[in-house]
A and B are shown apart, each in its own frame.
Chain A
Amino acid sequence: MENILQQIGIENYIYLSTLLFCVGVFGVLFRRNAIVMFMSIEIMLNAVNLLLVAFSTYHQDAAGQVFVFFSMAVAAAEVAVGLAILVAIYRNLNNIDIDSLKKLKG
């Protein structure tokens, strides 16, 4: 495992996860469908998981991998709540376009 990491280099792992993270950020900022936004947030969180695992191998330390479990559990809980809110919105408005939510303006 360590061998592969040395061949590829830790920097490339950081670039890859930064890239994935940015994909997620731009997805949240520019897509207007709530489900796609949720998926973008998941991409952000998974980019971080990838980075944590890469660093965990780099440091030869299991703590990073354990942290990934925490972050996965949290992501699952978050999405469960998010989908529940989405269902409530769909029942009221019959669509899940984020632009239809503009009751609150000031």
Chain B
Amino acid sequence: MTTLIAIAGLGIICLIAEIFNLRKAIVPVTIIGLLAILCLNVVSIPGVHVANLNMEERSFYNNMIVQNNYAILFSSLFILLTIFLVALSPDFHKEHKAKLSDFISIKLFLLAGAVAMVSFGNMAMFFLGIEILSISLYILAASEPKNVSSNEAGMKYFLMGSFASGFILFGIALIYGATGAFDITAIYEAVSTGAAKGWFFPGVVLLTIGLLFKIAAVPFHFWAPDVYEGSPALTTATMSTLAKVAAMAAFYKLMRGINLEVPGTYVTVLIIVSALSMFVGNLTALKQNNVKRMLAFSGISHAGFMLMVFLNPPVTAGTLFYYAAAYTLAGIAAFAVVISVCGDKRNEESFKFNGLGKTNPLMAAVLTCALLSMAGIPIFSGFFAKFFLFNQALKAGQVAIVIIAVVNSIISVGYYFKLILAMYTKESTEEKQAVPFAYTAVAVVAILLNILLGIFPDMVLGYL
């Protein structure tokens, strides 16, 4: 609760700081503030093993906000990601210094939306969270008004995003009609006592469609590559890490919250969506030349992997968090390198990475580690994330989807290694350029956290 208020307050302080000519202080103050909020947030985790998602929770404001370990852990991850994104901002936006406070405060409001999305206890809070996140992202995607690709990305994202919001809203309305409540626990009770009417299931399906749009899973993924390619690189980093994981976490919490046992057909549909996401994402990524576009398709395939948590819902909250943390930390590290190599030149073709191993060995090493983690090579946390995920899918008896997922992990190595080989074997075509300290710091810290998570998975798994 205090987390949400503090984040929104920090965003407003950023806007006010600009009025009082304190532009230089904005980024340090924001980072220190976010670190403080992160500490407060982590301290509030009870130090016990809580097996059930619904235990040990505190609710605020008539059950609008429910804080449990799931919400606290995901909020902490989001805050950490925002710290990285804010740290990347001043160098990325150095040509628009006057707009820095806007960029930072929009990122903070986006974080507030993401936190609301994982700690909701009521459909109203869920809807507001998802909309705050989306509207902030529409603005960020179109934040280069003179650039036609950024305009196009913003427009496409806006149209698809509000289209999806319409579906989510219709689903919420039908669920309200069937159960007479917006409160998650009340809906849960109505469903488990059989009081829910026939409109409940169509409502859940519409809600699912809307959320699959937001996480860019396959039948609804067509917007993602264009939007990722056209948006400024820092916004792409935000979308592919923070926004995707927030939508996934909200999806999981919602589905766990309102149905006790998902019906069989629903699971079958999710398995098909998951398998299609992996295949389409990975096979299309193989032939991409633009690095941002390649990472977009890789993100689609990772959405497919994350959808596998629905196969064995009661025990997979920890796995979902671990996978999300591994994927986003690797993603932030990769994007920090992409931004440092391509910078503001708005051209992310993969030949720019040729010979990076010689011109900038540190950044090349970080990008290699990040890509290896995404591909699922041991010692990086990406491997253990996939390992836990497959293990739990096997326990649920879903062998086919695990085989598909393993095959896809192998396919994905193909395009990740294409980039790695380009960095180490080809000759450089670009002259060496100085990399700002912030980019290096973010890339190195993110990848170190990723490796740390890989070595000590119990660090986070024990709490969920």
- Spell out A's residues near B (CB within 8 Å): 10, 14, 17, 21, 24-25, 28, 34, 37, 41, 44-45, 47-48, 51-52, 54-55, 58-59, 61, 63-64, 66-67, 70-71, 74, 77-78, 81-82, 84-86, 88-89, 91-93, 98, 101-106
Identify the stretch in B163-171, B300-308, B421-429, B440-448 within 8 Å (CB) of chain A at 4 or more residues.
B163-171
In order of increasing CB-CB distance, the 9 nearest A-B pairs are A44-B166, A55-B177, A104-B226, A88-B145, A59-B180, A101-B152, A48-B169, A51-B173, A85-B154
Chain B residue with Cβ nearest A83 = B158
- Besides A44-B166, A61-B180, 13 more A-B contacts (Cβ < 8 Å) are A25-B163, A25-B166, A34-B155, A41-B162, A44-B163, A67-B124, A70-B124, A70-B127, A85-B151, A88-B154, A98-B159, A104-B152, A106-B293
Question: Is the Cβ of B138 less than 8 Å from the Cβ of A106?
Answer: no
27 example contacts (A-B, Cβ-Cβ < 8 A) are as follows: A10-B177, A21-B170, A25-B163, A28-B159, A34-B155, A41-B162, A44-B163, A48-B166, A48-B173, A51-B174, A51-B177, A52-B176, A55-B173, A59-B177, A74-B127, A74-B131, A77-B135, A78-B131, A78-B135, A81-B139, A82-B159, A84-B142, A85-B142, A88-B151, A92-B146, A102-B152, A106-B293
Chain A CB within 8 A of B153 CB = yes
The answer to whether A88 and B127 touch (CB under 8 A), given A41-B162, A81-B158, A104-B153, is: no
Residues of B within 8 A of A86 (CB): 155
What class of interface size applies to chain B in its complex with A?
Answer: 35 or more
Q: How many A-B residue pairs have CB under 8 A?
A: 132
Q: How far is the CA of A77 from the CA of B162 in the complex (A)?
A: 11
B331 on interface, CB distance cutoff 8 Å? no
In the complex, chain A residues whose CB is within 8 Å of the CB of B169: 44-45, 48, 71
B148 and A106 within 8 A (CB): no
**B463, CB-defined interface residue at 8 Å:** no
- Contact (A101, B173) CB under 8 Å given A71-B127, A74-B131, A77-B135: no
B376: interface (CB < 8 Å)? no
Pair A41/B166 contact, Cβ less than 8 Å? yes
Please name all residues of chain B whose beta carbon is closer than 8 Å to the beta carbon of A66 when the two chains form the complex. Answer: 124
Which residue from chain A places its CB closest to the CB of B153 in the assembled complex? A104
Least distance between B62 CB and chain A CB atoms (Å): 11
Q: Report the bound CA distance from A85 to B142 in whole Å.
A: 7
Write out the residue numbers on chain A whose beta carbons fall within 8 Å of the beta carbon of B145. Answer: 88, 91
* Chain A hits for B170, CB < 8 A: 21, 44, 47-48, 51
Chain B 130-160 per-residue mask, 1 if CB under 8 angstroms from chain A, else 0: 0100010011001001101101111110110
Taking the closest CB of chain B, its distance from the CB of A106, in whole angstroms, is 6
Selected from B128, B158, B229, B293, the residue in CB contact (under 8 A) with A74 is B128
Is B288 an interface residue when CB atoms closer than 8 A count as contact?
yes
Closest Cβ–Cβ distance, residue B156 to chain A (whole Å): 7
B138, B166, B199, B230: which has the most chain A beta carbons within 10 Å?
Answer: B166
Which of A51, A58, A86, A106 has most B Cβ within 10 Å?
A: A106
B290 contacts A by Cβ under 8 Å = yes
A92 touches B199 (CB 8 A): no
B244 nearest CB across to chain A (Å): 19
A42 to B152 CA separation, bound complex (whole angstroms):
21
Expressed in whole angstroms, the Cα–Cα distance for A59 and B162 within the complex equals 28
Q: By the criterion CB–CB under 8 Å, are B151 and A106 in contact?
A: no
List chain B residues, Cβ under 8 A from A92: 146, 148, 151
User: What residues of chain B lie closer than 8 Å to A93, measured between beta carbons?
Assistant: 148
Q: Which residues of A contact B173 (CB under 8 A)?
A: 17, 48, 51-52, 55
Quick check: is B387 within 8 A (CB to CB) of the other chain? Answer: no
CB-CB under 8 A from B128, the residues of chain A are: 70, 74
Counting chain B CB atoms within 10 Å of each CB, which of A14, A37, A74, A85 scores highest?
A85
Instruction: Quote the shortest CB–CB distance from A44 to chain B (angstroms).
Output: 4
